[in-house]
Amino acid sequence: MKREHAPLKSLDQALAELMAFAVPLKGSVQLDTFDADGRVLAQDLVSELHVPPQDNSSMDGYALRCVDVASVGGRLTVTQRIPAGTSGVPVEPGSAARIFTGAPIPPGADAVVMQEDCEVLSAPHDAAVHEQVRILVLPQPGQWIRRAGEDVARGTVVLHRGTRLSPAELGLAASIGLDQLPVLRTPRVALFSTGDELVMPGTILPQQMKAGAIYNSNRYFLRALLKRLGCEVSDYGIVPDQREATEQAMRAASLGHDLILTSGGVSVGEEDHVKAAVQALGELNLWQIAIKPGKPFAYGRVGQAHFIGLPGNPVSSFVTFLLLVRPFLLKLQGVGSIVPFTQSLPAHFKWPRADRRREFLRVRRNEAGGLDLFANQSSGVLTSAVWGDGLVDNPPGQRIAHGDCVEFISFAELLA
């Protein structure tokens, strides 16, 4: 009698279930603002001041009263000089203040005329007589003045809890006077690979490799991806294709870690022991999803640690990390928005063979504004991920004709 297999979960179903399991971690620390790039805010940041703190000039020029310049060519007496970091005295009728970018607007002035629109007239030799300036344009009230609080108003939330900090956010935090930031703690991840065929670069020369052996590339890019997401990584190396060794590694990795991330051993072969080890030590909640590459993906728990098992083929491992592990880890860190931006671009290739699974094709943008396809879409060809700059998200059963609009996800978006 033929055995019935349950239908594979869709990527959307799998991601929804995965996100339901990803409860944000507890605990936060104070970090120097200089060191907080990539970390996630643990609380809202509220400004205690206006930014800028007072009206200031956005140009080098002359601060004046518009009423004093009734026509082009009017002359004003320059009675003061205001560099940034100083303050001036009130502007009297018929006078102007030499002012520099960032300097506070003196009382009475209602406009700044940039120096290119002014003509400085030579002052008399008598030092008691002020310099004069001719105004070559008719000034408008408010021109070249940055208003107090136009960037940030006192009392407003400038950054919300769950914001993943980038250089721009760090600059904004500094602009309201914060040299320390409250950030959520980062996930502790135990990483290991399985496979007797794996060897580490540097341990054996290429010409001395035995038949069937391959270098462990997954360990390098997975560790780098975890580091980019701010994770603390414990590298458990390569675990032999043995049930007992796999369980022993799982048991050790479950202690003191938030996530166990493995590569390989989650398929259906006789030497794939990861699935059985997870089921023996904990529970397996998700196994196999309808995407290509990346079908043999698994999620479960071992002790208090989450478990995610990635396929052994490098492209499958790389793609499933970006699509599933990345958002999972971001949610663990309390990030509010985890949906990657996609854009519709024309395919400058043909894809005549539709698959029952949702496909993620390695492509790159060309100078004509379209997408070129890497010729070999095998899940073992890691050069496709280096050559390409993103993925085409192709729905199940969908053929692609030259010129069709397809959904493109940039690697820059997924690797940020």
pLDDT in tens, 256-306: 999 999 998 766 554 568 888 999 999 999 889 999 999 989 999 999 999
CATH class belonging to 11-25+186-332: alpha beta
Per-residue pLDDT at 398 exceeds 80: yes
3-state SS assignment for residue 285: strand
Amino acid 404: pLDDT: 97
Write out the DSSP string of 58-116: SSSEEEE-GGG--STT-EEEEEEEE-TT----PPPTTEEEEE-TTPBPPTT--EEEEGG
Task: Quote the CA–CA distance of 393 and 111 in Å, as a whole number.
Answer: 53
6 pLDDT band, cuts 50/70/90, is low
When pLDDT is averaged across residues 21-30 and rounded to a whole number, the result is 93
What percent of the chain is modeled with pLDDT above 90? 79
- Please give the CATH number for the structural domain made up of 56-146: 2.170.190.11
Contact in structure between 306 and 21 (CB atoms under 8 Å): yes
Q: Roughly how many angstroms between the first and final C-alpha of the chain, as a whole number?
A: 50
Tell whether omega for the bond before 396 is within 30 degrees of 0, i.e. cis: no
Strands (E), 140-282: 145-146, 157-159, 180-184, 188-194, 198-199, 214-215, 232-239, 259-263
Mean pLDDT of the chain: 92
- Mean pLDDT to the nearest integer, 185-204: 88
Who's near 127: CB < 8 A, 6+ residues apart?
Answer: none
Q: Taking 60 as the threshold, does the pLDDT of residue 390 lie above it? A: yes
Strands (E) in 248-365, as ranges, are 259-263, 283-287, 291-292, 298-302, 305-310, 343-346, 358-365
Q: What residue spans define the domains of the chain? A: 11-25+186-332, 30-49+160-184, 56-146, 343-414
Q: Give the residue-averaged pLDDT of 113-138.
A: 82
Between 294 and 416, name the one with better pLDDT: 294
Q: Would you say residue 254 has pLDDT above 60?
A: yes
pLDDT, residue 392, reads: 98
pLDDT given at position 346: 98
Q: Please give the residue that has the higher pLDDT: either 6 or 118.
A: 118
**pLDDT for position 84:** 94
Reported confidence tier of residue 340, pLDDT bands at 50, 70, 90: confident
- Chain segment 72-103, per-residue pLDDT in tens: 999 999 999 999 999 999 999 999 999 999 99
Asked if 11-25+186-332 and 30-49+160-184 have one fold, the answer is: no
The mean per-residue pLDDT over the stretch 192-205 comes to 84
What value does the mean pLDDT take over residues 344-355? Answer: 96
At the topology level, CATH places domain 343-414 in: Beta-clip (2.40.340)
**Least confidently predicted of 8-17, 207-216, 401-410:** 207-216
Of the pLDDT bands very low, low, confident and very high (cuts 50, 70, 90), residue 123 is low
57-73: pLDDT as tens digits: 999 999 999 999 999 99
Give mean pLDDT, residues 354-362: 96
What was the pLDDT predicted at 266? 67
Does the pLDDT value for residue 172 go beyond 60?
yes
Q: What is the pLDDT of residue 129?
A: 55
Global confidence as pTM: 0.85
pLDDT band at residue 1 using 50, 70 and 90 as cut-offs: very low
pLDDT score, position 269: 52
CATH code of the domain made up of 30-49+160-184? 3.90.105.10
